[in-house]
Amino acid sequence: MKIIFAFLLIIFLAFSGYHLSFKKFRLPLFIRGFYLSGTEFLFLGFLLGPRLLNVIDNETVKALEPFTTFLLGWIGFLFGLQFEIKKLRRYPFEFLIGSILEGLITFIIVFAGSYFILTNINFLEDNLLLPAILMLSAAASCTAPTGLALSTTRLIKKHNNTVKLLQYISSIDGLIALIIFGLAFFCRIPFFSEAGLFYDIGKNALLYMGASLGCIILFAILLSIRKDGPELILIAIGMVVFTGGTARVLNFSPLLINFLVGFSLINLTRNEDRLFTVFVAIEKPVYLLLLIFLGVSWNFDTIWILFPAAAYCMLRFFGKILGGYVITHINSEMKKYPSLLGIGLLSPGGLPLAILLDFQKGFPGLHISLLAGMVIISVIYNDILSPNLLQRLLRDK
């Protein structure tokens, strides 16, 4: 009975609360950033979780795990639907090269810093060290154009070219982040054999890619029959559940496998408009549900976690600043953009939180929950910093 009550409560909070979030209230800029990103739902989940009110205890969270798998699958599929290659080709090639460089530079800096810190404090078991570092690097690589929604229409029109570049980078960053995150699952200690690390990584990769290909073919066959309305919604929900369940059985990421399915279908089939309409309809409530589940599992047992979270935030900050500087100096065409472009790339968005929840489910453990708490606090830091820095970038240009 408690499980049903918790489930209905979470659904009610998400679907009723999103009407209040994502709005421009007359509040200080950094507070409005919280409302725009829905960050308050992290604190709501923490309040309802086992460390405070215990309305949603650990047993309830475990019982609702299939539902979180569905949420991650829905987010991954929707994210994949946004990567339509023919639309990305409309932008200059320099945008693509710059976006890849920015993501890789951020990845390298955060990877190196995280490796140095985690290996010296002996925080994690050996089999979790590399996956955890890859997760941290992937989450840091993400960028979202959330802060642009806080900017005035006048500023956006005045700096239209810079805004377009920021929006393009924010989309490509997500692709790079998911590729990096996928390596965490390939590099886990495998259960197939003891023939060697590279042999097992290759075997895992073949298994995961084979499962993804099978799901893509199955979904494409179902969509080949012209369906609209409720039938299409039913097919979409059923496939996300099936694909996410397949991923969990194989100890893979439901977020990543559904991303691959969505990316493939949007570029290989002619159902892009119908599919996107179905999945984007409940994008915001799904995102708020994700925040609530992350808040419930948030481990904030010690105030000392604020300091490693700040260090992680600074690593990401330096990565974005350096990456933005490199982008604006790759050729003469890109020099017209501000050198401090990186300060407009600090808003993390929802993808790093989806990556974090997926990692928690795939690599459970006490130390992982502490690491997740550090990332959540870092996301909050960035939500506070990014709106003001973005405003400064657009005003100073």
CB 298 within 8 A of CB 42: yes
The answer as to whether 192 is a domain residue is yes
Name the domain count of the chain: 1
The answer as to whether 32 is a domain residue is no
Residue 146 belongs to domain spanning: 2-15+39-396
Sequence length of the chain is 397
What is the pTM (predicted TM-score) of this model? 0.89
The whole-number pLDDT of residue 109 equals 95
> How many Å apart are CA 121 and CA 138, to the nearest integer?
21
**CATH number for the domain that contains residue 320:** 1.20.1530.10
The whole-number pLDDT of residue 31 equals 46
The answer as to whether 312 is a domain residue is yes
Cβ neighbours of 112 (radius 10 Å): 14
The token duo for 89 is: 């080709």
The answer as to whether 23 is a domain residue is no
The whole-number pLDDT of residue 6 equals 83
The answer as to whether 271 is a domain residue is yes
Backbone torsions φ then ψ of 373, nearest 5 degrees? -60, -35
**H or E segment and range at residue 101:** helix 93-121
The answer as to whether 28 is a domain residue is no
Q: Where are the alpha helices (DSSP H) in 187-253?
A: 197-224, 230-249
The whole-number pLDDT of residue 27 equals 46
CB 261 within 8 A of CB 79: no
Mean pLDDT, the chain cut into blocks of 10 residues (397 residues total)? 81 72 49 58 87 85 89 90 82 88 93 88 78 93 70 62 85 89 76 55 77 86 71 81 89 90 82 69 82 86 83 94 91 86 86 92 81 89 84 71
The whole-number pLDDT of residue 29 equals 45
> How many Å apart are CA 333 and CA 329, to the nearest integer?
9
